[in-house]
Amino acid sequence: MGFWAPFYPVLFPLLLLSTRLVAQRSKKVIEIMESARLIDGHNDLALQLRRYFNNNLTAVDLKTLNKTNTNINKLKEGNVGAQMWSSFVLCSAQHKDAVRLTLEQIDVIKRMCTKYPDFELVTTSEGINKTKKIACLISIEGGHSIDSSLAALRMFYELGVRSMSLTHDCHTPWAESAAEKHNRQSHRNASLSKFGQEVVKEMNRLGMIIDLSHTSSNTAKMVLNISRAPAIFSHSSAYAICQHHRNVPDELLKMIKKNNGLVMVNFYSGFVSCQKLSNISRVADHFDHIKKIAGYESVGIGGDYDGATGFPQGLEDVSKYPALIEELLRRKWPEKELKAVLRYNFLRVFRSVEKVKEQLKDISSSEMEIPFEDVNNPCRLNLKKPFPNLGLSLSKTMPPALNIIHTVILYIVSIILIGY
């Protein structure tokens, strides 16, 4: 104690000054976040609603729910202006009931966003801009949700889905996942099959944002080469900072810049520091790196809350976004860039996607079907063409024995005529 006594006259004003600086920065953070309300690219609350409550909304109060990283009070505290809610179903549902499960997840998101007056369902960039509430956007995580069907993709769009990642941790029959654990599975297409390319074209035509999180680098490259609209990584971080296959390597960051797209940084500690534990500073390193390689125009936020367990100290739930902005401000990120990261970069991408839709409005929907052998799924029904009507339909009047002979003859004629 005695040793420090002579320094008190200097230390005390210094302490006061630093407290005032922190207070000023906090005030600045609130100003920035209130004028550019955050649009977050990925949140898995809907998955938790299924896990904990079997999608039964009467069993839960979303304002105060505390089993999850997300509730409405925390979203407000975090200054969240729009959330892309993921209607994710596990890869184990692929080739089984993925489409039904996805419909159920879309349903619960829609019910959640209409039940609570704090939310508003939106399907356009204008919708995000107009609302003073928390805008709800719906996304699909993993192309297995469309069961290799462009018709299913279109119907999901009709239901309000505005973004889809082409894969989750499993390959689809038409696109490749980055997850190595599934690489042993047979996979015909190293990146994107002909049908996969058609999915990209159809998403461009529909006005659906293509999400490359979870896809392999080769798939992402091919998409970035053929897509007419900007693409996003809705919840991925920088590979140079943490060498995880879910993160984006510099080569792709450069391509995203060219594509006018966006990398929305994932906060999960496993992707931030490649370890169980992490902190805000390490998250900010990802922002610095992506900005260095692709420019601030390519940086966004996709926290992945409720999609993983283990978030950095200080960023434990959706109320904590301001702490990150404070750290970026401390690192001298200009206000204009922070607003772009929070909101305007995503709005730019969404508007471009909508513009491409407008440009392609005269193109009719694709009727391409995936080759049956590519899907390799015994549950898939292959409807045969009906027998040709040869005007010999006597079934109602013929005795049963003759009816059988008649059917056999028709069958043989069919084989000879059309190769059935």
Catalytic residues: 42, 44, 141, 168, 214, 235, 304
Six-digit token string for 256:
């995203």
> How far apart are the C-alpha atoms of 319 and 72, rounded to whole Å?
9
Six-digit token string for 366:
């694709």
> How far apart are the C-alpha atoms of 139 and 71, rounded to whole Å?
19
Conformational region of residue 332, where left means phi above 0, alpha means psi within -120 to 50, and beta covers everything else = left
DSSP summary character for residue 211: E
> How far apart are the C-alpha atoms of 246 and 260, rounded to whole Å?
21
> How far apart are the C-alpha atoms of 258 and 169, rounded to whole Å?
26
Half-sphere exposure of 289 (CA within 13 A, CB side): 24
> How far apart are the C-alpha atoms of 242 and 285, rounded to whole Å?
10
Residue (of 327, 347, 340) closest to 29 by Cα position: 327
Task: Tell me the DSSP string of 49-100.
Answer: HHHHHTT-GGG--TTT--SSS--HHHHHHTTEEEEEEE----GGGTTTTHHH
* Chain Cα centroid distance, residue 269: 19
Strands in 295-345 per DSSP E: 299-301
Please give the torsion angle defined by the CA atoms of residues 93, 98, 103 and 108, in that order, rounded to the nearest 10 degrees: 10
